[in-house]
Amino acid sequence: MTKLIIQIPCYNEEATLGVTLSELPRDIPGIDRVEWLIVNDGSVDRTVEVAQACGVDHIVSFDHNQGLAKVFMAGIDASLKAGADIIVNTDADNQYCAADIPKLIEPILNGTAEMVVGERPITEIEHFSPAKKVLQRLGSWVVRIASNTKIPDAPSGFRAYSRNAAMQLNVFNEYTYTLETIIQAGQKGMAIASVPIRTNGYLRPSRLVKSIPAYIQRSIFTILRIFMTYRPLRFFSIAGSIPFTLGILLCIRWLILFEPDRARTPSLILAAILILIGFQLWMFGLVADVMSANRKLLEDVQLRLRRSAYEKPNSETRQVRTDGTVRSNQKASTEVSS
């Protein structure tokens, strides 16, 4: 039996969650069972009540707001424990067209991909500002370089994961999971695909984009941190080449303008400092590259532990029991408190 779980991160989504859930499918060709899961990120409104009224199968709850990245991973964990073969992630603001879910999971069903990212028509989305559209392209370009993939819309949150791919995910960034998971998948050699999807009308402002300057700042920091984590040798090589090259140019200038009666010592000292900084950054890159090998070994160990812990249940219906309580809501329903 092939089970698909659609997970939705939620933070005060009372106004839009009902609309989003009303469009989610319960029957999909090639899937035997479709279940819904929401991750309540410390909502203070009626998000949970709306979810229960709409027949959500699993509810994962946090007492306080944890942020999108942690909520995403909590949903992945709960979906794996519930026996999901495929996990689809979508947003509670109904941004993505739920009718495209069959198209999204098709590459996983036919075995050509383990992770699929929905490609939005960015240029046609009216409520995206020009600055945000540019950043979307920039972020996707950096991710393509760091991951060796060809995903055109890396920040898209409408995506599908196979069970095997979901078990290998780790998110260290606290801001968002979208860019990092693609880079991880590329580094691990997973087959990644992209399919064009449709978007729905604008219902509410983005929770991640509170202001364009803040979005730019956090996006740049996120991209740099991800690039530093997963491509340390390349990152520090580029960073070290800049001062090293400037130092060499200053040395050449010093030699060209050299006069016996004018030593030009300050220029030579600055050149030496820049060259030294360049060498130090290169050394940082080598050390970080060696450390990344240890991270890969730890990820292999973690994958083995997850495969053992998330062994598929034998029975068709299974309640997922964790540190929280288990609540029945028409079908096997899970509520995890933290």
Residue among 134, 145, 115 at smallest CA distance from 227:
145
- At 38, list the tokens: 């929401």
Residues 281-286, mean pLDDT to the nearest whole number: 93
Model pLDDT, residue 141: 83
Q: Which residue has the tokens 């029975």?
A: 315
Q: Is 286 helix (H, G, I), strand (E, B) or coil?
A: helix
pTM here is 0.77
In this prediction, residues 147-166 reach a mean pLDDT of 90
pLDDT surpassing 70 at residue 335: no
Q: What gap in Å lies between CA 191 and CA 165, rounded to an integer?
A: 9
| Structure-token match 């196979």, residue found | 162
Q: Which of 91, 115, 90, 66 is nearest to 336 (CA)?
A: 66
* Model pLDDT for residues 85-130, shown as the tens digit of each residue: 999 999 998 889 999 999 999 999 999 999 999 998 877 777 677 8
Average pLDDT taken over every residue of the chain: 83
Residue predicted with more confidence, 316 or 204: 204
pLDDT digits (tens, 9 = 90+) for 180-199: 888 888 878 889 999 999 98
CA distances from 266 to 260, 283, 334 (A): 15, 26, 69
CA angle 223, 227, 228 (to 5 degrees): 115
Interacting residues of 77 by C-beta distance below 8 A, sequence separation 6+:
none
Confidence of residue 212 (pLDDT cuts 50, 70, 90): low
Q: Are 178 and 115 in contact (CB under 8 A)?
A: no
